[in-house]
Structure 1
Amino acid sequence: MLLVVQIFAALAGLVHVYIWVMETLRFGDPKIHKGVFKTETADVPAVRPWAANQGWYNLFLAVGALLGTALVRAEPAVGWTLIVTACGSMVLAALVLVATDRSMLASAAKQGLLPLLALVSALGQTL
């Protein structure tokens, strides 16, 4: 079952790396700011700093999940702490997103499902 946790946590981390790319490196692309984040092109200069800041948060969560996945077998206490903290934060952020804007349900599911599955799978493990 630990392998399942590792797979879900790693996939959650990779999704959050992709979110970082969209929020920091590709935010100026209309397919991203308009299509994904529903931001008008005229508003991009004002919104870009916020999006980049959020992107870095997502990258740091990704690093936690990926590092935890890599360390959980060799250093269980460190690995579990990183997995639970990173994935728990991802799930909570997804809940906040949908709680503040119900139209963001699909986005919240994309960012929250894999870390939720990692946490649920972890319940069968000795933490």
Structure 2
Amino acid sequence: MVILITIAATLSAAVHVLIFYWESLAWTRPAVWKRFGLASAEEAQTTRVLAYNQGFYNLFLGIGALIGSIMYGIGWTDAGFALGIFAVGCMLAAAIVLATSGKGRLRAAFVQGFFPLLTVVLYLASWSIEH
């Protein structure tokens, strides 16, 4: 189960690190701002600081998911579980919020939330077996 949790958490983190890259480092590139539904380079420039900040939230959650799964895997199960479930739980909650922001956001919410949901399910299944 630990291997599955680590794989799911790593995939969750990878998606969020990619989002970090898009939002914090590549936001003003046309391919990126168009992916996020912006209409113009001017709009991307106007929202650049907000996207930069949001990208770092995604990076920090990705790091938390990775560290939590590593801690869990090396035997620090309580701390690893707490950190891991918090990080992927926040990712999942953010995906739910994104899904509720409009029909045009459902695909992005699915991409953002699938691996965190899988990780939460695996963590909870593993935790219930151990306790």
TM-score (norm 1): 0.94
Residue of structure 2 equivalent to 1:68? 68
Q: Distance in 2 between matches of 1:96 and 1:111?
A: 11
Deviation of 1:123 (Å): 2.2
More helix by share: 2
Residue of structure 1 equivalent to 2:116? 115
Tell me, yes or no, if the aligned pair for 2:88 and 2:120 is still in contact at 8 Å: yes
Give the counterpart letter for 1:38 in structure 2.
Answer: G
Q: Distance in 2 between matches of 1:45 and 1:122?
A: 40
Q: Distance in 2 between matches of 1:12 and 1:72?
A: 16
TM-score (norm 2): 0.91
Residue of structure 2 equivalent to 1:14? 14
Q: Distance in 1 between matches of 2:52 and 2:6?
A: 28
Mapped pair 1:45 → 2:41 = no
Mapped pair 1:29 → 2:23 = no
Gaps of 5+ in 2: none
Give the counterpart letter for 1:48 in structure 2.
Answer: R
Relative contact order higher in (CA < 8 Å, ≥ 6 apart): 1
What's the CA shift string for 1:53-88, capped at 9, x where partnerless? Answer: 110100010010011121112311111111100000
Q: Secondary structure at the match of 1:125?
A: helix
Structure 1 moving runs of 4+ over 6 Å: none
Residue of structure 2 equivalent to 1:104? 105
Aligned pair count reads 126
Q: CA RMSD in A?
A: 1.1
Give the counterpart letter for 2:50 in structure 1.
Answer: W
Deviation of 1:10 (Å): 1.0
Residue of structure 1 equivalent to 2:81? 80
Q: Distance in 2 between matches of 1:12 and 1:18?
A: 10
Q: Distance in 1 between matches of 2:86 and 2:103?
A: 25
Gaps of 5+ in 1: none
Q: Distance in 2 between matches of 1:125 and 1:61?
A: 21
Q: Secondary structure at the match of 2:125?
A: coil
Residue of structure 2 equivalent to 1:89? 90
Q: Secondary structure at the match of 1:123?
A: helix
